[in-house]
């Protein structure tokens, strides 16, 4: 079956996490992704957090599926010529170097346009134009600068970063959308363009509801669904809300049977208004369905802590899976806190290709997260990540280099 991005060639100049997540998605949709790395070293993640000596790390293998790897020293004059040939052949150049690195290599936007006016140049940077535009940025810096850390955690504790890589993988997702949008516009204009996704902007986009709350707070001085209400105090900025829901339906994480020994024996429970009467029945508080202090969402807001404590009495008598089964029968929205172990072993995720087992020539079998976006006409087949420079000769031949020229370039240290 054909793939959505068949025929699209991506010059993948990305490294670490944010850029590689973007180009991996494009590869899963069928683009030919040619990853350029430095000979002898490659993407730094190949050797980071290794669990097997001298074998590409899971960090690398899980971010670089379905790509080809070529080694080019882009600071070597002959290496630059190879890169120029690639720029002329590809549709998109994706990079997430530190600010200015591509320019320092000699590949400014103007130069790239001269070489290929149809080329889309897509970049992840830590910050957009402004005071921090020259800064190098990693995941947690973006979470802190994008509003996630100040709004995550509990009120009586410090800011907390999330395990979800919203700065890196989140920005990679944003960039991928920017790239396919630019490819679409190019079908009309015939021109390439620059696409920028700044990590601070990407995180802020995902924290949109917190900027909503900042303005609500400034207008009304309080937010009734926050745990600070009614007994705590609100300051000038959106406070950390613990496990409160970011939406209009109050929720909280509650203990389930076994919580004393199992750190994940918890369930997220949402007191959705339309099923309030069913919740009251399930937990044995039928009188709350009609009691004016509890019967309406507005009446419940000052009592949320007590309500969740009462619901927790019930959830503590059930495992998280038993609670799920009972609550789902009544359409009560809830979710088990699943550990990574439970997720890795979940058969339904294997069946849909969300968790995939991949075989690798030096690592052997490992698990990865497959494409979370499923297209009915462009199914994803997850292929292992490339070894360093595995496709150099193949790609060089496609560019028209003879075996003798390839060998001379290798001797000169250009590839």
Residues annotated as catalytic (active site), given as ranges: 168
- In the complex, the smallest distance separating the C-beta of residue 317 from ligand CAO, rounded to whole angstroms, is 43
Per rule CB under 6 A, is residue 198 in the interface with ligand CAO? no
- DSSP-derived letter for residue 60 is H
For residue 321, what are the contacts with CB-CB under 8 A and spacing of at least 6?
Answer: 336
Question: Is the Cβ of residue 69 or residue 193 nearer to ligand CAO in the bound state?
Answer: 69
Q: With CA atoms as reference, report the closest residue to 229 among 214, 244, 211.
A: 244
Strands 194-198 and 92-95: unpaired
298 backbone dihedrals φ, ψ, rounded to 5°? -65, -40
Per rule CB under 6 A, is residue 128 in the interface with ligand CAO? no
Q: Which stretch binds ligand CAO (CB under 6 A): 22-30, 118-126, 342-350, 388-396?
A: 118-126
Question: Is the Cβ of residue 137 or residue 256 nearer to ligand CAO in the bound state?
Answer: 137
Strands 364-369 and 355-360: antiparallel
> Which x/- pattern over 36-65 shows residues binding ligand CAO (rule: CB under 6 A)?
xxx---------------------------
CA pair distance 14, 393, nearest whole angstrom: 20
- In the complex, the smallest distance separating the C-beta of residue 360 from ligand CAO, rounded to whole angstroms, is 22
Cβ proximity of 117 and 65 under 8 Å: no
Per rule CB under 6 A, is residue 105 in the interface with ligand CAO? yes
Q: Which stretch binds ligand CAO (CB under 6 A): 99-107, 235-243, 273-281, 312-320?
A: 99-107
The only residue of 77, 88, 104, 286 in contact with ligand CAO, by rule CB under 6 A: 104
Question: Is the Cβ of residue 36 or residue 254 nearer to ligand CAO in the bound state?
Answer: 36
Per rule CB under 6 A, is residue 18 in the interface with ligand CAO? yes
User: What is the SS3 string spanning 161-213?
Assistant: CCCCCCCCHHHHHHHHHHHHHHHHHHHHHCCCCEEEEEHHHHHHHHCHHHHHH
Cβ proximity of 194 and 129 under 8 Å: no
Question: Is the Cβ of residue 141 or residue 358 nearer to ligand CAO in the bound state?
Answer: 141
- DSSP-derived letter for residue 248 is S
Q: Which stretch binds ligand CAO (CB under 6 A): 15-23, 55-63, 177-185, 276-284?
A: 15-23
The only residue of 6, 40, 88, 98 in contact with ligand CAO, by rule CB under 6 A: 98
Q: With CA atoms as reference, report the closest residue to 85 among 180, 33, 11.
A: 11
- In the complex, the smallest distance separating the C-beta of residue 46 from ligand CAO, rounded to whole angstroms, is 13
Between the two ends of the chain, the Cα-to-Cα distance in Å is 34
- In the complex, the smallest distance separating the C-beta of residue 57 from ligand CAO, rounded to whole angstroms, is 14
Q: Which stretch binds ligand CAO (CB under 6 A): 66-74, 204-212, 348-356, 392-400?
A: 66-74
Torsion, Cα of 160, 161, 163, 166 (10° steps): 150
| Burial grade of 43 (CB within 10 A; 0-12, 13-18, 19 or more) | buried
Q: How many CB atoms are closer than 10 A to CB 351? A: 9
- DSSP-derived letter for residue 282 is H
Per rule CB under 6 A, is residue 139 in the interface with ligand CAO? yes
Cβ proximity of 161 and 145 under 8 Å: no
- In the complex, the smallest distance separating the C-beta of residue 230 from ligand CAO, rounded to whole angstroms, is 41
The only residue of 52, 106, 133, 136 in contact with ligand CAO, by rule CB under 6 A: 136
Question: Is the Cβ of residue 170 or residue 192 nearer to ligand CAO in the bound state?
Answer: 170
- In the complex, the smallest distance separating the C-beta of residue 287 from ligand CAO, rounded to whole angstroms, is 53
Name residues contacting ligand CAO, limited to 140-159 (CB under 6 A): none
Residues that bind ligand CAO (CB under 6 A): 16-19, 36-38, 72-75, 96-98, 101, 104-105, 124-126, 136-139, 168
């Amino acid at each position: 079956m054909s793939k959505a991005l068949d025929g699209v060639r991506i010059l993948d100049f990305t490294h670490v996490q944010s850029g590689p997540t973007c180009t991996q998605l494009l590869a899963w949709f069928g683009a030919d992704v040619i990853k350029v790395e430095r000979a002898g070293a490659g993407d730094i993640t190949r050797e980071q957090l290794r669990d097997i000596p001298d074998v590409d790390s899971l960090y690398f293998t899980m971010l670089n599926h379905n790509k080809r790897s070529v080694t080019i020293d882009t600071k070597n004059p002959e290496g630059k010529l190879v890169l120029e040939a690639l720029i002329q052949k590809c549709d998109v150049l994706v990079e997430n170097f530190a600010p200015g690195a591509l320019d320092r290599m000699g590949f400014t936007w103007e130069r790239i346009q001269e070489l290929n006016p149809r080329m889309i140049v897509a970049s992840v940077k830590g910050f957009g134009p402004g005071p921090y535009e020259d800064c190098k940025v990693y995941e947690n810096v973006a979470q802190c600068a994008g509003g996630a850390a100040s709004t995550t955690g509990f009120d009586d504790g410090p800011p907390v970063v999330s395990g979800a890589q919203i700065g890196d993988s989140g920005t990679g997702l944003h960039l991928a959308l920017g790239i396919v949008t630019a490819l679409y516009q190019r079908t009309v204009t015939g021109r390439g363009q620059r696409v920028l996704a700044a990590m601070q902007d990407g995180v802020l986009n995902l924290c949109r509801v917190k900027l909503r709350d900042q303005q609500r707070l400034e207008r009304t001085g309080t937010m009734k669904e926050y745990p600070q209400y009614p007994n705590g105090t609100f300051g000038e900025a959106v406070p950390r809300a613990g496990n409160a829901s970011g939406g209009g339906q109050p929720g909280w994480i509650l203990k389930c049977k076994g919580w004393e020994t199992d750190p994940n024996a918890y369930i997220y429970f949402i007191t959705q208004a339309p099923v309030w009467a069913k919740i009251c029945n399930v937990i044995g508080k039928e009188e709350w369905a009609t009691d004016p202090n509890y019967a309406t969402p507005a009446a419940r807001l000052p009592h949320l802590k007590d309500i969740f404590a009462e619901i927790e009495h019930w959830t503590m008598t059930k495992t998280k899976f038993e609670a799920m089964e009972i609550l789902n029968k009544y359409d009560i929205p809830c979710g088990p806190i699943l550990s990574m172990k439970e997720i890795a072993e979940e058969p339904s995720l294997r069946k849909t290709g969300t968790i995939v087992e991949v075989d690798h020539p030096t690592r052997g079998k490992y698990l990865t997260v497959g494409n979370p976006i499923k297209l009915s006409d462009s199914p994803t087949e997850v292929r292992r990540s490339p070894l360093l420079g595995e496709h150099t000769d193949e790609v060089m031949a496609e560019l028209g280099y003879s075996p003798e020229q390839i060998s001379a370039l290798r001797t000169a240290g250009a590839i």
